[in-house]
Amino acid sequence: MTKVKKMISGIALTSILLTTACGTNAGNAGNPANSPAANAGATSPSESPSAAEPVAIEFWYGLGGKLGENMQLLIDKFNASQQEVIVKPVVQADYAETEQKLQAAIVSGDVPAAVLSSNVDWARKGYYAPLDDLIAGEAGFHQEDVIRTFLEQGKVDGKQYFLPMYGTTQVMYYRKDALEKNGIKPEELTTWEALAEAAAKMTEKANGKTTFYGWEPMWGKDNMIDAVMSKGGKILSDDGKTVLVDSPEWVSTWELFRKWIHDDQIMRIHSGGQGWEYWYKTIDDVMKGQAAGYTGSSGDQGDLDFAQLGAMEQPGWEGGGEGKPVASAIMAGIPAKASPEQQQAAFKWFSFFMNAENTAFWSMNTGYIAVRESALDNPEFVAFSESNPQSTIPLKQAAHASAPFLDPTGGKINDALAIAADKVQIGNESVEEALKEAKETAQRELDKLNK
């Protein structure tokens, strides 16, 4: 058994129950839905009139850069591999826009057959089709081969509504030259305290302004929540009735991030813009030598130059052991209003994307985690992981990760935390006040459910 397979097997045995909805950001130029490749496999006029017409379906997703390019490659490959289904890609700016447009489509009744999005609340309301019968009817699907914790994430009230397309967790990317120049070894950066000390050492200033940043966390609540989880913090009490986001673990962690960004100016946040604009600005700072490193998705690896960069796991805290950032799966679903023929076609496309060869291809070319254990026996994947050690970092981190938070209020708790994060990261406002307001808002919404 390879080292990589042992790591994935560890993930499969981890007793985390991952059940979450997806969200964040992406950017893409243009919509290749009408490209010649998207129409590969269509019936030509010269074919026999008795030949069955292929089922054409739209697949909505919000992926940009190398991710969008690799998605298009797999869509083209699928369309060329058979004559029954044509997948037509429809690209949105990001995951959030995909969900917004899907909401409008559900209201109008004119829905796509396949979406790279999931929403537990919508599944409960009947907006998504359960997939259990489709899975049972496809002998070649082999759901026992899908990494269990990722598959479980797609279940709602005991039914499988979503399928994992790929796994993800946020890891640390650093410039090798910046660390070497300052005598810093990446294997020593196992705590946030050590990382902050290193960031301060690498930061360069001129005329009172920072010209080179020691680190760049990614905009939003997620990086700071990862750090809170690593300190033992929780969003809700074990009984699910009390919001805990103003606890000492939260306040002390977020206060350090505020201090590093605003007071010490050893870290920077890029915010706003269209789609993934802020994300790529952060990556560009590191690639262009304006920052020593950043915290980003495992899926960034397809956009990075590892001749210059290295990767490491997120740190923990002094006296607290290894980090416990969130690991989750990006899920896809089938809207319930799609016709039975379209639902069958969408499942065929999902099954193709998830097969061992293609999930291995996706992992090698994007940095995301493969969703099938059998992918790790793929000879190309084995060779790739041995020559590209950064590809194993997400797998190692996922083995001791935290479960993603399932917001029982349909997103209102997450919204409150997002607002609080902006107040801290962008507005330099009081952490205690920001988290207190977030708790009050979140508790109010949670109490409505518990009446």
CATH number of the domain encompassing residue 180 = 3.40.190.10
The end-to-end CA distance of the chain, in Å, is 52
Query: Same domain, yes or no, for 309 and 264?
Result: yes
3-state secondary structure of 270: coil
Query: Same domain, yes or no, for 102 and 239?
Result: no
Query: Same domain, yes or no, for 82 and 179?
Result: no
Q: What is the pLDDT of residue 321?
A: 83
Query: Same domain, yes or no, for 74 and 125?
Result: yes
- The number of domains in the chain is 2
pLDDT(293) > 80: yes
Query: Same domain, yes or no, for 294 and 189?
Result: yes
This model's pTM is above 0.85: no
Q: Which of 32-41, 84-93, 112-121, 348-357 has the lowest mean pLDDT?
A: 32-41
Query: Same domain, yes or no, for 145 and 262?
Result: no
In which element (H, E) is residue 95 found?
helix 95-108
Query: Same domain, yes or no, for 250 and 205?
Result: yes
Q: Distance of CA 252 to CAs 133, 246, 267, 416, 427, Å?
A: 48, 10, 17, 18, 18
Residues 369, 375, 377, 381, Cα dihedral to 10°: -60
What average pLDDT does the chain have?
89
Neighbouring C-beta atoms of residue 432, cutoff 10 Å: 13
Residues 22, 151, 391, 63, Cα dihedral to 10°: -30
Query: Same domain, yes or no, for 319 and 217?
Result: yes
Which residue among 378, 398, 418 closes a domain?
398
Query: Same domain, yes or no, for 299 and 410?
Result: yes
Token couple for 91: 């690209």
Which residue among 362, 377, 398 closes a domain?
398
Query: Same domain, yes or no, for 272 and 297?
Result: yes
Instruction: Tell me the average pLDDT across 107-112.
Output: 96
Query: Same domain, yes or no, for 193 and 66?
Result: no
pLDDT(355) > 50: yes
DSSP designation for 410: S
Cβ atoms of 36 and 88 within 8 Å: the answer is: no
Which residue among 398, 417, 438 closes a domain?
398
Quote the percentage of the chain above a pLDDT of 70.
Answer: 89
CA distance 343 to 356: 22
In which element (H, E) is residue 280 found?
helix 277-287
Which residue range(s) make up the domain with 219?
170-324+406-450
Q: 361 φ, ψ to 5°? A: -60, -45
pLDDT(191) > 60: yes
Place of tokens 């089938």: 334
pLDDT tens profile 125-169: 999 999 999 999 999 999 999 988 889 999 999 999 999 999 999
Q: 92 φ, ψ to 5°? A: -105, 175
Query: Same domain, yes or no, for 119 and 255?
Result: no
Confidence of residue 51 (pLDDT cuts 50, 70, 90): low
